[in-house]
Amino acid sequence: MIKITIYKNQEDEYVGFQCKGHAAYDQSGHDIVCAAVSILVLNTVNSIEQFTYDKFKGEADDNKTGFIEFMFHSEPSAEAALLIDSMILGLESIRNVYNKDQDYLSISFKEV
């Protein structure tokens, strides 16, 4: 299962997120759930880097565990927060469509 944790502070502002695991919806290379989640997460990181002035730290493994961690250095801009909101909307849509018979994706929020 892919586990996404969205980190927020006490003011309910985004601090970052972590993604880890694989959906196991299908064989490697054919897993559309993993592919969709990967695209959303990576596009969000790339969009924040390309279209905002926000500073962040990112970390990823070599794709064996599906680990990606993204953390803002300071309070995110409105644009970066909107991009995170958009990522969450897409992830929730994937979860709602594919988590019918089995859990392939979990999304949780954690205050840090």
Domain boundaries, the chain: 2-111
pLDDT at 63: 65
Q: Which of 84, 95, 92 is nearest to 33 (CA)?
A: 95
- Name residue 9's amino acid: N
The predicted-structure confidence for 20-66, as pLDDT tens digits, reads as follows: 999 999 998 899 999 999 999 999 999 999 999 999 999 998 667 88
Is residue 81 scored above 70 in pLDDT?
yes
Which CATH number among 1.10.1240.10, 3.30.70.1490, 3.30.565.10, 3.40.50.300 corresponds to the domain 2-111? 3.30.70.1490
Q: Kindly state the DSSP code that residue 76 receives in the 8-state scheme.
A: P
Write out the H or E segment, with its range, that includes residue 106.
Answer: strand 105-111
Cα–Cα distance, 112 to 106 (Å, whole number): 19
Indicate the pTM of the whole model.
Answer: 0.94
**pLDDT confidence band for 15 (50 / 70 / 90):** very high
